[in-house]
Amino acid sequence: MTVILDGKKLRDKILEELKTRLEKYDSSPTLVVILVGDNPASRIYVNNKKKTAENLGINSIVINYPSDVEEQVLLDKIHELNSDKNVTAILVQLPLPEHIDKFKIINAISPEKDVDGFTPENSGRLFTGEKPYVYPCTPKGIIRLLDEYEIPIEGKHAVIVGRSNIVGKPLAQMLLNRNATVTICHSRTKNLADITKTADILVSAVGGKIIGINMIQSNCVVVDVGIFKDENGKTRGDVDFDTVAPLTSYITPVPGGVGPMTIAMLMSNTVELFEKNL
Minimum distance, C-beta of residue 17 to ligand GUN, in the bound complex (Å): 21
* Cβ-based nearer residue to ligand GUN, 90 or 159: 90
Minimum distance, C-beta of residue 105 to ligand GUN, in the bound complex (Å): 10
Which residues are 201's β-sheet partners? Answer: 158, 221
Q: Which of the ranges 12-20, 91-99, 170-178, 246-254 carries the binding residues for ligand GUN, by CB under 6 A?
A: 91-99
The one catalytic residue among 93, 156, 224, 238: 93
Q: How far apart are alpha carbons 117 and 132 in whole angstroms? A: 7
Minimum distance, C-beta of residue 154 to ligand GUN, in the bound complex (Å): 26
Give the angle 249-255-258 at the CA atoms, nearest 5°: 65
* Cβ-based nearer residue to ligand GUN, 134 or 215: 134
* Cβ-based nearer residue to ligand GUN, 69 or 195: 69
* Cβ-based nearer residue to ligand GUN, 137 or 271: 137
Compute the chain's Rg from CA coordinates: 19
Whether 93 sits among the annotated catalytic residues: the reply is yes
Minimum distance, C-beta of residue 187 to ligand GUN, in the bound complex (Å): 18
Return the residues of window 195-234 that contact ligand GUN according to CB under 6 A: none
> By CB under 6 A, is residue 93 in contact with ligand GUN?
yes
Return the residues of window 109-148 that contact ligand GUN according to CB under 6 A: 116, 137-138
For ligand GUN (CB under 6 A), the number of binding residues is 8
The one catalytic residue among 49, 77, 156, 169: 49
* Cβ-based nearer residue to ligand GUN, 94 or 176: 94
Minimum distance, C-beta of residue 101 to ligand GUN, in the bound complex (Å): 15
AA letter at 118: F
Whether 173 sits among the annotated catalytic residues: the reply is no
- The single residue among 10, 53, 92, 251 that binds ligand GUN, judged by CB under 6 A, is 92
Instruction: Give every CB contact of residue 244 below 8 A, 6+ residues apart in sequence.
Output: 211, 212, 213, 216, 222, 251
CB 233 within 8 A of CB 22: no
Minimum distance, C-beta of residue 91 to ligand GUN, in the bound complex (Å): 5
Classify residue 72 as left (phi > 0), alpha (psi -120 to 50) or beta: alpha
* Cβ-based nearer residue to ligand GUN, 91 or 199: 91
Enzyme catalytic residues: 49, 93, 116
Which residues form the interface with ligand GUN (CB under 6 A)? Answer: 91-94, 116, 137-138, 166
